[in-house]
Amino acid sequence: MPKDVDVWEPQDKKGSRQKGASGSETAPASQERKSSDKEGKTEGHPTMKPFTDEDVEYYLQTKVEQRHLLVSKTVDEVQMMIQQLTTEVSCRDIRFQPISNSGIHNENFKVLTPSQFLMTVPLRGLTGYKEHQVRRWRYYTVQGEKLLSSVRNPEELHQWLEVEQFSKSLQQWHDTDMNFEGDLVPAKVLAVFRDLVEKSIITCDLSRKISLLESFSSVVRVAVETSNLQVEVELVPTVEILTCWPEKARWPRCLRRWPSQEKVQCVKSFGFNLLARSNYHWQLGFSRAERLLMEGIDEDGGCRMKCFRVMRQMKEDIWCKGNKPVLTSYHLQMVLLWTCEKYPRAKDWRYFREGFLRLVRKLHKCVSQHFLKHYFLRDANLFQYANTSDLDLVAGKLIVFLENPVICLD
């Protein structure tokens, strides 16, 4: 399991009856809806409808369910190929572990958009992690030449990593191909990994399906051809830390009603990840923690996931379209978690319209201010490197929607 993070979400029970805004059960909208849907539609324009229970259910059962089926099929195809690829990579270098093929809820897999995925590739042979309090930072080129001055300090989401921080490590982690004077260097890890991926694509006879993409940075991205569309997958070597919670993530900072203290302790017990996504510093990731929070998010009978799914669909259809949008599902997940913390009670999520508009207002505030706090690292701005013009365009569309909330049924 940001990863910039489609996030993991619990499955809907197909055919189940949903509660409407009044709290009463409604039959599946596809059964109730009549074919004469001409009101609200003009020539050449989509059908825009107010948020009635029936229209929301129809939207869920058509648009949202259609997206889920497409993404699930695409994920299955991509995972099958990437599993084959990473198995070959692992045979060439034992430090890289092959990914598992466990469907859309694979904790190593994030769907940022229907055509943009992130997959973490676990690194093997580093166990018994402990944090270092004091450190004299070193800076160097990827070739191993020491620089006379520092380049940049770690940002809130980043940290350094030394092989000595692990009580047990494979001898290969001490080799100079990834290690420089004791530092495990993300750029060197990515350089080795990129070379292995390139060779493994040929060995596995996947050249017609997978191609390595050029990049201005050290990240490893591949284009994968599926039966429906081409998707871009970022492959991220990742150190999984299962034994502790990072000191940087002072969460929760004060006593909150959501999540419960029991849930907080459970979430922290699953640890965190360190992702190789930059030259010098490892990026902190919390995919397992995020998955656990999403997993039981509606155990009180609320409609949080329903609100999230509709918001994600409208983001992809109307507010922020495209293959590489400035907003991803991971950003929306952060908005959801913050809103759940602010509105923790079951009654806050009893009615769809109220909960949904609350989420959209929070999203608009973050987008218009160009500031979205990471849920676990509150000083980290997930919009720090986002295109501000793109954010402003999204903010404009969101304010238009909030002034007249309607749903697009086409």
Residue 260 backbone class (left: φ over 0; alpha: ψ -120 to 50; beta: rest): beta
pLDDT reported for residue 39: 43
User: According to the CATH classification, is domain 296-410 in 1.10.1410.40?
Assistant: yes
Q: Where are the beta strands (DSSP E) in 199-271?
A: 210-212, 220-225, 230-241
Residues in the chain, pLDDT under 50: 1-5, 11-44
Supply 208's token pair: 């017609």
pLDDT reported for residue 80: 95
Calpha distance 224→229 (Å, rounded): 9
Asked whether this chain's domains 50-245+273-285 and 296-410 adopt the same fold, the reply is: no
One CATH from 3.40.640.10, 3.60.15.10, 2.40.400.10, 3.30.460.90 for 50-245+273-285: 3.30.460.90
pLDDT reported for residue 323: 84
pLDDT reported for residue 133: 66
- Tokens 């890890």 map to which residue? 189
- Domain parsing of the chain, residue ranges: 50-245+273-285, 296-410
pLDDT reported for residue 40: 45
Calpha distance 109→91 (Å, rounded): 22
C-beta of residue 267 within 8 angstroms of C-beta of residue 292 = yes
pLDDT reported for residue 215: 83
pTM more than 0.85:
yes
For residue 222, give Cα distances in angstroms to 2, 85, 257, 335, 368: 19, 11, 42, 29, 32
Residue 43 CA neighbour count, 13 Å, CB half: 0
pLDDT reported for residue 1: 38
